[in-house]
C-alpha cells in the first residue's frame, strides 16, 4: 500500500526527520552514522527512521549486522505535485507591498500608515 500524502507531510513535519533526509541526500548511511549528529538515543533515531520508512521517504536494508538507510526521492513526487498547484500564486514582495501601502495612505491625509 502506497503512503498517503498525509503520512508524507506528517513525516516531514518534524525537524529531526527533515535533517535526517538532508543527511541522506549525500549518500546511504548506516543507522549509527545517521544518529551521530543528533543529541538523542539510538532508539529515538530508530523511531524517526521508522516513521520516514512508513512514509516511503527512506528504505532500510540490513547488510550483515548493519542497517543501512537510503533516501527514496520518488516518495516526494506526489507531495511536490500537490505543492506545485500553489505555484500559480506569485510570492508576495513585502517591500513592494509596503511601498504600495505608503502611496495609498499618502492619498488620504487624515490617515497614517499602521506602525509595527
First to last CA, the chain: 50
pLDDT score, position 107: 73
Q: Please, what are the averages of pLDDT over each run of 10 residues along the chain (116 residues)?
A: 83 95 94 96 96 96 95 87 74 72 71 52
pLDDT score, position 79: 86
pLDDT score, position 1: 55
pLDDT score, position 84: 81
**For residue 80, what are the domain limits?**
5-106
Q: Which CATH number belongs to the domain containing residue 22 in this structure?
A: 1.10.10.10
Q: How many domains does the chain have?
A: 1
pLDDT score, position 27: 93
pLDDT score, position 105: 73
CA triple 44-77-10, angle to 5 deg: 35
Amino acid at each position: 500500500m502506497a503512503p498517503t500524502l498525509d503520512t508524507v507531510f506528517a513525516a516531514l513535519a518534524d525537524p529531526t526527520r527533515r535533517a535526517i533526509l538532508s543527511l541522506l541526500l549525500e549518500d546511504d548511511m548506516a543507522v549509527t552514522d545517521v544518529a551521530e549528529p543528533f543529541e538523542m538515543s539510538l532508539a529515538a533515531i530508530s523511531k524517526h527512521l521508522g516513521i520516514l520508512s512508513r512514509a516511503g521517504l527512506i528504505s532500510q536494508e540490513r547488510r550483515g549486522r548493519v542497517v543501512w538507510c537510503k533516501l527514496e526521492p520518488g516518495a516526494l513526487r506526489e507531495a511536490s505535485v500537490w505543492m506545485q498547484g500553489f505555484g500559480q500564486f506569485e510570492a508576495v514582495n513585502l517591500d513592494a507591498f509596503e511601498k504600495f501601502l505608503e502611496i495609498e495612505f499618502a492619498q488620504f491625509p487624515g490617515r497614517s500608515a499602521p506602525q509595527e
